């Protein structure tokens, strides 16, 4: 069956099928010219490449003229093969990196799971682009680099402890994963406890890191632009017979703000309004698609992050953004962190456009938002999202060094006490969790990080 699928879908699609598809695409192009509408996407040619995605690969305007020219090019074997190579190069594909190839898997009509030995579409693309894997794939980080990350992480934590009241009892957790290998590279607990580790094995309130899932659900469901305005002004939410007035961390209101600005600066009021628009059920369903099946409060206040998750669960909301839309649960070796892959692991849960938009939001957070410390130190990576739970009891940061390496850091007291600075200044994830992540980027990017 695998051979038949490969032959029909990729290398020798029957001529009648190709002619039929080509005619459909030609008719659609003519209609778009007559009606003045945008051409529809069709997959054509021996390699079944999408016409519209192929135009995007080459940064070509999607007009009827270019559509017809690309249609004529793709119906030939040479033209199809050339476009695949262009797509691979434009997407920055590295030899043996399956995760990067997902960036242009949109050209196919779906995705075949690797069940009972059947070839997945990722495997087919490898064959088409002649990028076979040779030997065992090595992780992007060596054992020496992982050890250096732990050393630098511990050093930064010692400096943070001196700034926190009762800082000697402060604990931290680090989860580092490689999505191309679907494996946990490092899951380490920094504390004096001997039982299950907070954040790694014991769920903790995630704060504003839940906004990654919230905004992903919004872009996927509503298809809005990142420049769309949303009110940041006083509001009231009724829950369990109480009238609650959500507030921003700085207790200020900014009026109309864009979605990008609201996410980058982790503003609470717009997030609650987004939760009102989507509905708590839609948010819960999206979290379930991410593999998170914990009970969720049926209120827009869920946007404030009053949900307890472990690091692996929280990271599942980030991985679809990095993989072009596919859910990816890294496998943990041993009991270093809890969490098993859900049944829909590997499924597409975001469109490519939504994933692109969310990557832009993650970078905005590092460029001018709550994670701008990363840009100031010269190692922004792909950005990420901060999270501070109510009462400053938990500080989180989830982020990505690139499309493969991502992770989470957590900081807090095991008993859930609030964290307070010895000098009376504000404590936040931006001030303490982000610098912990910067130590990982300093090693991975091979640069020196300013203290």
Tokens for 209, please give them. Answer: 């890191």
Which of 83-97, 248-262, 398-412 is predicted least confidently?
83-97
231 and 255 housed in the same domain: yes
Q: What percent of the chain has pLDDT over 70?
A: 81
Confidence of residue 165 (pLDDT cuts 50, 70, 90): very high
Mean pLDDT of 363-382: 94
114 and 247 housed in the same domain: no
Alpha carbon separation from 210 to 254, 303, 348, 449 (Å, rounded): 22, 7, 20, 28
Q: Given this model, what pLDDT does residue 86 score?
A: 62
255 and 109 housed in the same domain: no
Mean pLDDT of 364-375: 96
31 and 96 housed in the same domain: yes
Query: Is there a domain that residue 74 lies in?
Result: yes
Give the end of a domain, one of 101, 128, 155.
128
Query: Is there a domain that residue 190 lies in?
Result: yes
Q: Given this model, what pLDDT does residue 108 score?
A: 40
Give the end of a domain, one of 83, 104, 128.
128
Which of 20-29, 38-47, 225-234, 438-447 is predicted least confidently?
38-47
- At 248, which CATH number? 3.40.710.10
430 and 394 housed in the same domain: yes
Q: Are 295 and 282 in contact (CB under 8 A)?
A: no
Query: Is there a domain that residue 451 lies in?
Result: no
Alpha carbon separation from 433 to 151, 385, 398, 427 (Å, rounded): 16, 10, 9, 10
Which of the pair, 194 or 441, is modelled with greater confidence? 441
116 and 200 housed in the same domain: no
Query: Is there a domain that residue 133 lies in?
Result: no
Mean pLDDT of 43-65: 76
Task: State the pTM of this model.
Answer: 0.72
205 and 308 housed in the same domain: yes
Confidence of residue 23 (pLDDT cuts 50, 70, 90): confident
215 and 166 housed in the same domain: yes
98 and 29 housed in the same domain: yes
Query: Is there a domain that residue 255 lies in?
Result: yes
Give the end of a domain, one of 128, 156, 176.
128
The secondary structure element, H or E, covering residue 239 is strand 237-239
**DSSP at 392:** G
Alpha carbon separation from 97 to 88, 207, 252 (Å, rounded): 11, 33, 45
Domain tally for the chain? 2
148 and 121 housed in the same domain: no
Confidence of residue 96 (pLDDT cuts 50, 70, 90): very low
Helix, strand, or coil (residue 372): coil
Query: Is there a domain that residue 138 lies in?
Result: no
Query: Is there a domain that residue 135 lies in?
Result: no
User: Is the pLDDT score of 63 beyond 70?
Assistant: yes
**DSSP at 381:** T
Q: Are 323 and 330 in contact (CB under 8 A)?
A: no
Which of the pair, 212 or 73, is modelled with greater confidence? 212
331 and 245 housed in the same domain: yes
Confidence of residue 400 (pLDDT cuts 50, 70, 90): very high
Q: What percent of the chain has pLDDT over 90?
A: 54
Confidence of residue 166 (pLDDT cuts 50, 70, 90): very high
Q: Given this model, what pLDDT does residue 95 score?
A: 37
Confidence of residue 120 (pLDDT cuts 50, 70, 90): very low
User: Is the pLDDT score of 133 beyond 60?
Assistant: no
Query: Is there a domain that residue 91 lies in?
Result: yes
What is the extent of the structural domain holding 122?
2-128
Q: Given this model, what pLDDT does residue 194 score?
A: 77
Mean pLDDT of 194-212: 94
For 47, list phi and psi in degrees, rounded to 5: -105, 5
86 and 233 housed in the same domain: no
The secondary structure element, H or E, covering residue 43 is strand 43-44
């Amino acid at each position: 069956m695998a051979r038949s699928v490969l032959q029909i879908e990729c290398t020798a699609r029957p001529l009648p099928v190709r002619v039929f598809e080509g005619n459909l695409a030609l008719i659609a192009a003519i209609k778009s010219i007559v009606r003045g509408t945008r051409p529809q996407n069709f997959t054509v040619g021996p390699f079944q490449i999408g016409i519209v995605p192929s135009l995007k690969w080459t940064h070509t305007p999607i007009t009827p003229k270019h559509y017809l020219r690309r249609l004529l090019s793709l119906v030939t074997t040479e033209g199809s093969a050339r476009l695949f190579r262009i797509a691979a190069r434009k997407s920055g594909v590295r030899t043996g990196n399956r995760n990067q190839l997902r960036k242009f898997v949109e050209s196919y009509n779906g995705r075949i799971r690797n069940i009972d030995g059947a070839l997945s579409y990722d495997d087919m693309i490898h064959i088409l682009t002649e990028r076979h894997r040779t030997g065992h794939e090595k992780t992007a980080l060596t054992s020496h680099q992982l050890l250096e990350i732990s050393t630098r992480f511990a050093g930064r934590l010692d400096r943070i402890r001196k700034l926190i009241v009762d800082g000697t009892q402060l604990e931290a957790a680090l989860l580092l994963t490689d999505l191309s290998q679907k494996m946990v590279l490092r899951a380490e607990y920094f504390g004096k406890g001997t039982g299950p580790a907070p954040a790694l094995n014991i769920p903790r309130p995630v704060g504003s890191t839940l906004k990654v899932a919230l905004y992903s659900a919004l872009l996927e469901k509503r298809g809005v632009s990142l420049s769309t305005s949303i009110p940041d002004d006083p509001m009231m939410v009724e829950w369990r017979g109480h009238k609650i007035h959500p507030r921003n961390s700085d207790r200020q209101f900014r009026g109309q703000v864009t979605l990008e600005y609201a996410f980058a600066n982790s503003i609470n009021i717009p997030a609650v309004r987004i939760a009102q628009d989507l509905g708590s059920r839609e948010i819960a369903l999206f979290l379930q698609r991410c593999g998170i099946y914990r009970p969720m409060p049926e209120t827009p206040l869920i946007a404030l992050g009053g949900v307890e998750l472990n690091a692996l669960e929280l990271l599942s909301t980030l991985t679809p953004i990095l993989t072009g839309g596919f859910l990816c649960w890294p496998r943990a070796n041993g009991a270093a962190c809890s969490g098993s892959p859900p049944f829909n692991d590997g499924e597409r849960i975001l469109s490519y456009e939504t994933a692109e938009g969310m990557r832009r939001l993650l970078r905005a957070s590092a460029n001018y938002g709550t994670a701008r410390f990363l840009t100031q130190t010269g190692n922004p990576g792909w950005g990420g999202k901060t999270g501070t739970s109510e009462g400053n009891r938990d500080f989180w940061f989830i982020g990505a060094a690139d499309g493969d390496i991502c992770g989470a850091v957590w900081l807090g007291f095991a008993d859930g006490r609030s964290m307070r600075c010895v000098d009376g200044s504000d404590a936040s994830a931006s001030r303490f969790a982000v610098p912990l992540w910067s130590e990982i980027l300093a090693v991975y990017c091979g640069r020196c990080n300013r203290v």
